[in-house]
Amino acid sequence: METYLEALDLCEAVEEDYEIPALPNNPTMAQIKAQKEKKTKKSKAKACLFTAVSSIIFTRIMSLKSAKEIWDYLKNEYEGDERIKGMQVLNLIREFELQRIKDSETIKD
C-alpha cells in the first residue's frame, strides 16, 4: 500500500495531517493552484485507502475524517509489533496444520 501511495505522490497527505491554509484576499494563480492541489491530494489519499480495504474494514473506517486518521487506524489494527506478528504467524501455521479432510468429504469437495 505504501508503494501505491508513493507512486501517486500521496504519502505526505497520509503521513501528515496538515491544514490547508485559507487563501489571502487577492490570491495569485500559484496560491490558488497550490491550495487546490493540497485539497485534491487529501481527497485522493482518502479515496485510495477506502478502495484498498474490504467492505467490512470500510465500515470501520468510513467515519474517520482524514487520510492520516485512516492510515493510523489501519497501521494500529493490522500491522502490530513484532510479538503480535509472531503470534499471527503461529496461529496461521496452527490453523493450516489443523486442516483435515473429513471422512465424508471427497477431494472434489
| pLDDT tens per residue across span 17-71 | 888 888 888 999 999 999 999 899 999 999 999 999 999 999 999 999 999 999 9
Which pTM does this prediction carry?
0.65
Give the DSSP per-residue string, the chain. -HHHHHHTT-HHHHH-----PPP-SS--HHHHHHHHHHHHHHHHHHHHHHHHS-HHHHHHHTT--SHHHHHHHHIIIII--HHHHHHHHHHHHHHHHT----TT--TT-
